Amino acid sequence: MLIRTDDRALVDDLCIHFRRSAFEVADVGRGMIEVKQPGARSDLDERRAIRNHLALWRVLHPDSAVYEVT
């Protein structure tokens, strides 16, 4: 799943957040990261897990805008 932020300074923090929970993360540029969950049972399970972790990050950073791209 691609996640984008308007504030490129947040990219490193997003990457760290997901890596702490054993997600694979790649900075793909222009304020976007690609997040994958190794071993997910299905694409749907993977998307749910990523969305849940993104929701947690948003709670911790309420003034930061992040968007799910795909």
User: DSSP labels for 2-62?
Assistant: EEEES-GGGHHHHHHHHHHTT-EEEEEETTEEEEE-TT-SSHHHHHHHHHHHHHHHHHHST
26 lies in which domain range? Answer: 2-68
Q: How many independent structural domains does the chain possess?
A: 1
20-70 residue pLDDT tens = 999 999 999 999 999 999 999 999 999 999 999 999 999 999 999 999 997
Average pLDDT (3-11) is 91
CA 63 – CA 42 distance, rounded (Å)? 32
In angstroms, the CA 37 to CA 35 distance is 7
